[in-house]
A and B are shown apart, each in its own frame.
Chain A
Amino acid sequence: MRITCPHCGARDAQEFTYLGAADLKRPDGMAATEAAMTDYVYQRENPAGTHRELWYHGAGCHAWLVVTRDTRNHAIAAVEAAKSRKTGAAA
């Protein structure tokens, strides 16, 4: 696979490390419940289709990226830096 890093350009996916779903929202703060945290830590949509996911450009700029990729054929539709993301549930 090739991932087009917004900072570094198109690079082999080997330069990146995968984490998982990008749009999980951490229940921050002392008021968060154990149930909500369990859901955040463990439950996944795991779609067969469009998946927004986090990749870390560890061999490059160290940016965490939100990659929109189809899990059925690996086609990548979009890549953006997580820190300045403009789309998605956590935006």
Chain B
Amino acid sequence: MSGQSFRLVSGGLVDRDRALNFSFDGKPYRGFAGDTLASALLANGVRLVGRSFKYHRPRGVLSAGPEEPNALVELRSGARREPNTRATVTELFDGLDAASQNRWPSLVFDLLSLNGLVSPALVAGFYYKTFMWPAAFWEKLYEPLIRRAAGLGRAAGLEDPDHYEKAFAFCDLLVIGGGPAGLAAALAAGRSGARVILCDEDFCLGGRLLAEKREIDGKPAAEWLAATLAELENLPEVRIMSRTTVFGLYDHGIYGAVERVGDHLPEPAPHQPRQRGWRIHARRAILAAGALERPIVFPGNDVPGVMLAGAARTYVNRYGVLPGRETVLFTAGDDGWATARDIAAAGGKVAAIVDARGEADPARKALADKLGARLFAGGVIEGTRGGRQLDGVTIRDASGATMALACDLLAVSNGWNPTLHLTSHQNGKAVWDEALQCFVPGTLPAGLAVAGSAAGHFTLGQALEDGARLGGEAAAEAGLKPAAAGPVPMTDPEATALQPIWRVKGAKGKAFVDYQNDVTDKDVELAAREGFRPVEHLKRYTTLGMATDQGKTSNLSGLAIMAEQTGKTIPQTGTTTFRPPYTPVAIGALAGHHRGKEFRPVRLAPTHDWSKEQGAVFVEAGQWLRAQYYPKPGENDWLTTVNREVQAVRAGVGLCDVSTLGKIDIQGADAAEFLERVYINGWKALPVGKARYGLMLREDGFVMDDGTTSRLGDSHFLMTTTTANAGKVMQHLEFCHQVLWPELDIRMVSVSEQWAQVAVAGPRARETLRAVVDPAHDISNEAFPYLAARAVTVGGGIPARLFRISFSGELAYELAVAADHGDAMMRALMRAGQPFGITPYGTEALGVMRIEKGHVAGNELNGQTTPRDLGLGKMMSAKKDYLGRLMAGRQALIEKDRPSFVGFRPVDPTQRLRAGAHFIGIGKADIMENDEGYMTSVAYSPHLNHWMGLGLIKGGAARIGERVRAYDPVRNGDIVVEICSPVFVDPEGARLHG
């Protein structure tokens, strides 16, 4: 096991008493609790951690945060493997295993680094200019090579073994970021009693306070931090969520967040999700997300050992790790000097400070002397040495002279960019601040304020002041009396002067703008030369900013170089649009538990358990699970079972749960008038106690739905809808009433789930019912004829409704009771029907019988058919207005050759029909112009002993007796069928009335 040779003997926030074992590329290492994978690797002297996307150049840790472009690893293994995981934000845990990615065969010897040799040809957009000849080679040769070489890590590809969940929260104030600004904001609002949620992506709160040696009110900042956290934890309305990234801002104050519940553990704790996706509804929010440091573009700026200066400071101060033994600082401002100071204070050697600004002031000179560092004021770094690790740098001093200097860490400081991403999620444009030399938030989304560095207020004092002020305002906004605000804490002085340099010119070698996508300054120049000058063209053409870091470290440099090329300013060149999410979010976290069987809710019929007992096979019908058929022992294929069920109904009696049909109770003085307007047929004359088949259209004239509606009283109707359209029809009727005709005196309510309803069908149906319906109710043929619909009682006074309606064409009833009694009703009917051989049947037999009777159903009511198409034109009343009346009469919809509804039978009765076959004339070519229609539904009729079909064909009923081909090449079918009446069984309807 390697020692932690770069770990400082003391200092930092890691727990040296808790050593953690981990491995990288199979090699064991040790770190401490409180480390990230990156800090632990650096502590162990591991510099080379990844290979770049295109040229496969060696890369090391650049940052200490979510902006990391280089240190991406495959974390964990097997089904839990997570590619492209940023080592800089991966909390170390015992047993962590990680591997480098996008290299072969190994990180140290990566064959694809040969790409570097041909890199002169692999410029931005090279692939648009070649690989065009011969055309067939693209899919076969070029593209597979490109695909294999591209991509980063390998996804597990296996079912994710962990769970996810969704959660919702509401608050007066959401504080995004737990650094000084965010803590001050939470404190100010929390003290007033506001409901506050404070989120931070880190596992420790404190933000930059964790990484800096600062003083607040004359004491180490850590003391202020501890006191603040202690107070916040004691405020009952304040909720602190660490390890939680607010990734997106959506309309009306809704924030998306992901909480990493178990990512810092080898596996999530029992009964805990890996991650939780949050939808946070916030009255107000304060973005206190800090800032991200900017690199400098210079040749060789990607060698492992080149690191952002602020990150170097983080590793020293927070993690107790010296990221290099011999440091050179390359800075464009005051902030970098703090890194030199802290490294020296921790015992590191600072060999040189290259401050690109001109003549240094005496104080800086004195500090350099004190640190023992050579100072190059007005100098730049124009090259680096080293392959897999930095060996040294070439410095060009103010006079233009160059010299080489050995070092193993180059800390780069070029100022900071406010982390303003969320402010642009609603198309807000950031604005350029010339004084600060960075983009700052522009127009803010409603309800969002920005505090501290995220607003470009880079000092600790400003952060604390912003937070306190905005937190207090948010509390006042929520109607709370602000708590007495104490004085804003005093902080030690800090210097923030800056003259950023976007790139070092006049030097040779690849200078990277976007590390992850290997975009160089030359690529930006090429884009400018070829006219890809708008910032979006620049991004899309060079892929700048399109990698997993979304350009957090590269966008501004790219813009600046483009500005330089075109002679414009940065703001004239453009701003970059930050799209959500702020950092990438696991798909699982946004899906929650909606996967596998729990993808969508399951609705069960009231008789589901009973059907299960009967051995039913179930089928998904939308969200419903319906009994499809009830196989008996010895029945080995579904058709045998279905044939038996159909024959049992036609010969005796059968039972089928139809509770899934929509039921809408409509009452009011204008109820009949209302039905007149929504159905194509008449309703005013329907007597009380009778049911009628109704057909309703969409306003565009196509059929929307059908069903029977019963008149239970003068002003009381019960409508049924198809299962699939139950919700849609309810919504439609509410629309008709509330929006079209609010003057109508009606009320309606869905009672679909209140009633269990069972079809009792077959010649013995009445006898069966007789034993269930209480004797007081006369259900004889005379007293209860076809289409009768009345309230009855069953089982000794239990309220029920009985409808004499039939989908099967048999003597049939539907009996309805309260849903809770559905199971008992089913069992009672089964007992009652036993002498007649009562047989439960499922949706398949139901379908067979409806096809035998030529009833239309879902396959025919597909939104593309009119009543005329379906042979139901006669139902269209000419005496009244109804929805869809005018549109159904449009020219093209009443043309004679529009396909219309008929039946089909195979000329060779042994042949099987299939729905979806098209009709083509015999002897005609298989071309679109000869397409005459298609088969909508098919079934095997045990009554006819052959397959039968329903369908739509040009000319329709006028062609009965003609033969055509049912063309079905996708199933190798092409058979001759005869056009026939769609009613295959009992065309006179005698059985209905029996």
Q: A and B touching (C-beta < 8 Å)?
A: yes
CB–CB A41/B700 < 8 A: yes
Interface 1/0s, chain A 14-41, versus B by CB < 8 A? Answer: 0001010010001011101110011011
CB–CB A76/B742 < 8 A: no
CB–CB B742/A2 < 8 A: no
CB–CB B734/A56 < 8 A: yes
Query: Which residues on B sit within 8 Å (CB–CB) of A19?
Result: 735
- Is B159 an interface residue, CB under 8 A from the partner? no
Which of chain B's residues has its CB closest to A14's CB?
Answer: B279
CB–CB A41/B254 < 8 A: no
Which of chain B's residues has its CB closest to A4's CB?
Answer: B252
| CB within 8 Å for A58 and B727 given contacts A2-B281, A76-B252 | yes
* A3 and B890 alpha carbons, distance in the complex (Å): 38
Partner of B251 from the list A74, A83, A90 (CB cut-off 8 Å) is A74
Which of chain A's residues has its CB closest to B880's CB?
Answer: A30
Query: Which residues on B sit within 8 Å (CB–CB) of A38?
Result: 887, 890
Closest approach, in angstroms, between the C-beta of B377 and any C-beta of chain A? 49
* A32 and B426 alpha carbons, distance in the complex (Å): 44
Partner of B731 from the list A56, A83, A90 (CB cut-off 8 Å) is A56
CB–CB B886/A32 < 8 A: yes
- Is B564 an interface residue, CB under 8 A from the partner? no
- Is A5 an interface residue, CB under 8 A from the partner? no
Which of chain A's residues has its CB closest to B734's CB?
Answer: A62
- Is A54 an interface residue, CB under 8 A from the partner? yes
* A61 and B455 alpha carbons, distance in the complex (Å): 43
- Is B145 an interface residue, CB under 8 A from the partner? no
Query: Which residues on A sit within 8 Å (CB–CB) of B602?
Result: none
- Is B881 an interface residue, CB under 8 A from the partner? yes
The 16 listed contacts between A and B (C-beta, < 8 Å) are A1-B254, A12-B254, A12-B279, A17-B731, A30-B881, A32-B881, A34-B887, A37-B699, A38-B887, A41-B700, A54-B739, A62-B734, A64-B738, A64-B739, A73-B426, A83-B739
Which of chain B's residues has its CB closest to A37's CB?
Answer: B886
- Is B740 an interface residue, CB under 8 A from the partner? yes
Query: Which residues on A sit within 8 Å (CB–CB) of B580?
Result: none
* A37 and B697 alpha carbons, distance in the complex (Å): 14
- Is A82 an interface residue, CB under 8 A from the partner? yes
- Is A75 an interface residue, CB under 8 A from the partner? yes
CB–CB B881/A29 < 8 A: yes
Query: Which residues on B sit within 8 Å (CB–CB) of A58?
Result: 727, 731
CB–CB B738/A82 < 8 A: yes
- Is B889 an interface residue, CB under 8 A from the partner? yes
Query: Which residues on B sit within 8 Å (CB–CB) of A90?
Result: 739
Closest approach, in angstroms, between the C-beta of A57 and any C-beta of chain B? 10
Query: Which residues on B sit within 8 Å (CB–CB) of A73?
Result: 426-427
- Is A63 an interface residue, CB under 8 A from the partner? yes
Which of chain A's residues has its CB closest to B700's CB?
Answer: A41
CB–CB A34/B738 < 8 A: no
- Is B534 an interface residue, CB under 8 A from the partner? no
CB–CB B252/A56 < 8 A: no
CB–CB A1/B889 < 8 A: no
Interface 1/0s, chain B 265-284, versus A by CB < 8 A? Answer: 00000000000000101000
CB–CB B886/A34 < 8 A: yes
Q: Which 3 A-B pairs have the closest CB atoms?
A: A2-B252, A37-B886, A83-B738
CB–CB A2/B890 < 8 A: no
Query: Which residues on B sit within 8 Å (CB–CB) of A40?
Result: 699
Query: Which residues on B sit within 8 Å (CB–CB) of A74?
Result: 251-252
* A76 and B607 alpha carbons, distance in the complex (Å): 45
Query: Which residues on A sit within 8 Å (CB–CB) of B886?
Result: 32-34, 37
* A60 and B46 alpha carbons, distance in the complex (Å): 58
- Is B446 an interface residue, CB under 8 A from the partner? yes
* A90 and B427 alpha carbons, distance in the complex (Å): 34
CB–CB A2/B881 < 8 A: no
Interface 1/0s, chain A 50-82, versus B by CB < 8 A? Answer: 000010101000111000000001111000011
Query: Is the interface on chain A under 10, 10 to 19, 20 to 34, or 35 or more residues?
Result: 20 to 34
Question: Given A29-B881, A64-B734, list of 8 further CB < 8 A pairs?
Answer: A2-B251, A28-B740, A32-B881, A38-B890, A40-B699, A56-B731, A56-B734, A56-B735
CB–CB A63/B738 < 8 A: yes
* A29 and B870 alpha carbons, distance in the complex (Å): 25
Closest approach, in angstroms, between the C-beta of A69 and any C-beta of chain B? 10
Binding site for A on B (CB under 8 A): 250-254, 279, 281, 426-427, 446, 699-700, 727, 730-731, 734-735, 737-740, 742, 880-881, 886-887, 889-890
* A50 and B666 alpha carbons, distance in the complex (Å): 36
Partner of B446 from the list A29, A64, A75 (CB cut-off 8 Å) is A75
Which of chain A's residues has its CB closest to B731's CB?
Answer: A56
* A3 and B612 alpha carbons, distance in the complex (Å): 42
Closest approach, in angstroms, between the C-beta of B170 and any C-beta of chain A? 10
* A40 and B887 alpha carbons, distance in the complex (Å): 11
* A82 and B737 alpha carbons, distance in the complex (Å): 10
Which of chain B's residues has its CB closest to A81's CB?
Answer: B738
* A31 and B890 alpha carbons, distance in the complex (Å): 16
Partner of A82 from the list B251, B739, B890 (CB cut-off 8 Å) is B739
Query: Which residues on A sit within 8 Å (CB–CB) of B446?
Result: 75
| CB within 8 Å for A37 and B887 given contacts A2-B254, A74-B251 | yes
CB–CB A28/B252 < 8 A: no
CB–CB B734/A26 < 8 A: no
Which of chain A's residues has its CB closest to B741's CB?
Answer: A28
Closest approach, in angstroms, between the C-beta of B248 and any C-beta of chain A? 14
Query: Which residues on A sit within 8 Å (CB–CB) of B740?
Result: 26, 28
* A84 and B737 alpha carbons, distance in the complex (Å): 12
Closest approach, in angstroms, between the C-beta of A22 and any C-beta of chain B? 8
CB–CB B735/A1 < 8 A: no
Query: Which residues on A sit within 8 Å (CB–CB) of B727?
Result: 58
Query: Which residues on B sit within 8 Å (CB–CB) of A33?
Result: 886
Closest approach, in angstroms, between the C-beta of A18 and any C-beta of chain B? 11
Query: Which residues on A sit within 8 Å (CB–CB) of B252?
Result: 1-2, 74, 76
Closest approach, in angstroms, between the C-beta of A66 and any C-beta of chain B? 9
Closest approach, in angstroms, between the C-beta of B877 and any C-beta of chain A? 11
Partner of A28 from the list B251, B731, B881 (CB cut-off 8 Å) is B881
* A26 and B730 alpha carbons, distance in the complex (Å): 20
* A26 and B96 alpha carbons, distance in the complex (Å): 66
Partner of B887 from the list A41, A63, A81 (CB cut-off 8 Å) is A41
Query: Which residues on A sit within 8 Å (CB–CB) of B253?
Result: 2
Query: Which residues on A sit within 8 Å (CB–CB) of B742?
Result: 82-84
Which of chain A's residues has its CB closest to B699's CB?
Answer: A41
Query: Which residues on A sit within 8 Å (CB–CB) of B887?
Result: 34, 37-38, 41
Query: Which residues on B sit within 8 Å (CB–CB) of A75?
Result: 446
Closest approach, in angstroms, between the C-beta of A49 and any C-beta of chain B? 15
Query: Which residues on B sit within 8 Å (CB–CB) of A26?
Result: 699, 740
* A83 and B742 alpha carbons, distance in the complex (Å): 6
Closest approach, in angstroms, between the C-beta of A32 and any C-beta of chain B? 6
* A63 and B254 alpha carbons, distance in the complex (Å): 24
Which of chain B's residues has its CB closest to A66's CB?
Answer: B739
Query: Which residues on A sit within 8 Å (CB–CB) of B699?
Result: 26, 37, 40-41
Which of chain A's residues has its CB closest to B737's CB?
Answer: A83
Query: Which residues on A sit within 8 Å (CB–CB) of B254?
Result: 1-2, 12
Query: Which residues on B sit within 8 Å (CB–CB) of A30?
Result: 880-881
Closest approach, in angstroms, between the C-beta of B881 and any C-beta of chain A? 5
Closest approach, in angstroms, between the C-beta of B743 and any C-beta of chain A? 10
* A34 and B881 alpha carbons, distance in the complex (Å): 12
Of listed B735, B886, B890, residue having the most chain A CB within 10 A: B886
Query: Which residues on A sit within 8 Å (CB–CB) of B281?
Result: 2, 12
Query: Which residues on A sit within 8 Å (CB–CB) of B881?
Result: 28-30, 32
* A34 and B893 alpha carbons, distance in the complex (Å): 13
Closest approach, in angstroms, between the C-beta of B228 and any C-beta of chain A? 32
Query: Which residues on A sit within 8 Å (CB–CB) of B730?
Result: 62
Closest approach, in angstroms, between the C-beta of A27 and any C-beta of chain B? 8
* A82 and B740 alpha carbons, distance in the complex (Å): 9
Closest approach, in angstroms, between the C-beta of B990 and any C-beta of chain A? 39
* A28 and B251 alpha carbons, distance in the complex (Å): 37
Which of chain A's residues has its CB closest to B878's CB?
Answer: A30
* A32 and B886 alpha carbons, distance in the complex (Å): 8
* A90 and B740 alpha carbons, distance in the complex (Å): 9
Query: Which residues on B sit within 8 Å (CB–CB) of A82?
Result: 738-739, 742
Partner of B889 from the list A28, A34, A54 (CB cut-off 8 Å) is A34
Closest approach, in angstroms, between the C-beta of A8 and any C-beta of chain B? 15
